[in-house]
Amino acid sequence: MKTTVSMIALVAAFAISTPVLADAGHGKPSAIGMPGKKVDAKRVIDIVMEDNTYNLESIEVKAGETIHFRVKNAGELLHEFNIGTPAMHATHQQEMMKMMEMGMLTPTSMNMNMSSHAAMGHSAADMAGMKHDDPNSVLVEPGKSAELVWKFAKAGTLEFACNVPGHYHTGMVGQFKFSR
């Protein structure tokens, strides 16, 4: 089972490369904020994604504010709404590139039911790290919608971006502007 071993090594490499995401995943506050509760959200913002743009260029947000994002993919390609720093997006772009190379993602869909998943048995749990389930992000297939509730932390350089290979660099990125 050489394949399994190399897969685990790859997963471990991802885990090491994304400490910020790992923190957020355990519900701990991080520099970019943490998953929020709908009841705390005073604003609902509709995000519409097309190939390859967002309906909004920037979003005003207050430090500590919780926002409920309703994210719709009105395009024909797979798109993501991911909240992070430019450095986090750069890291995530590399991960998504690998996921695409491994067949876990295609330009138009997620392929999370790979047979190799089941074959990997125990390590399937480890694979969760490679499933696209970061709490600061939703990955949405064409025609579908998703929700993301996020409690922002302090002011900082924060972007919403799509890290599907090629999209960020063709302009699928916007700024969070912190106001007081």
Point out which residues bind Cu ion (CB under 5 A): 52, 79, 162, 164, 167, 172
Nearer to Cu ion, 59 or 164 (CB): 164
Q: Minimum Å distance from CB 37 to Cu ion? A: 27
C-alpha radius of gyration, the chain, whole number: 16
* Phi, psi values for residue 174, rounded to 5°: -140, 165
Query: Percentages helix, strand, coil for the chain, rounded to the nearest 5?
Result: 30, 30, 35
Alpha helices (runs of H) in 34-129, residue ranges in sequence order: 86-101, 115-119, 124-127
Q: Please provide the size of the chain in residues.
A: 180
For residue 104 the two structure tokens come to 């876990």
* Cα distances (Å, whole numbers) of residue 107 to 51, 52, 147, 149: 11, 12, 21, 26
Q: Minimum Å distance from CB 142 to Cu ion? A: 11
Q: Minimum Å distance from CB 12 to Cu ion? A: 28
Q: Minimum Å distance from CB 163 to Cu ion? A: 8
For residue 168 the two structure tokens come to 């960020």
Q: Minimum Å distance from CB 109 to Cu ion? A: 13
Nearer to Cu ion, 22 or 74 (CB): 74
Spatial distance between the Cα atoms of 79 and 76, rounded to a whole number of angstroms: 9
Nearer to Cu ion, 34 or 83 (CB): 83
Spatial distance between the Cα atoms of 158 and 135, rounded to a whole number of angstroms: 15
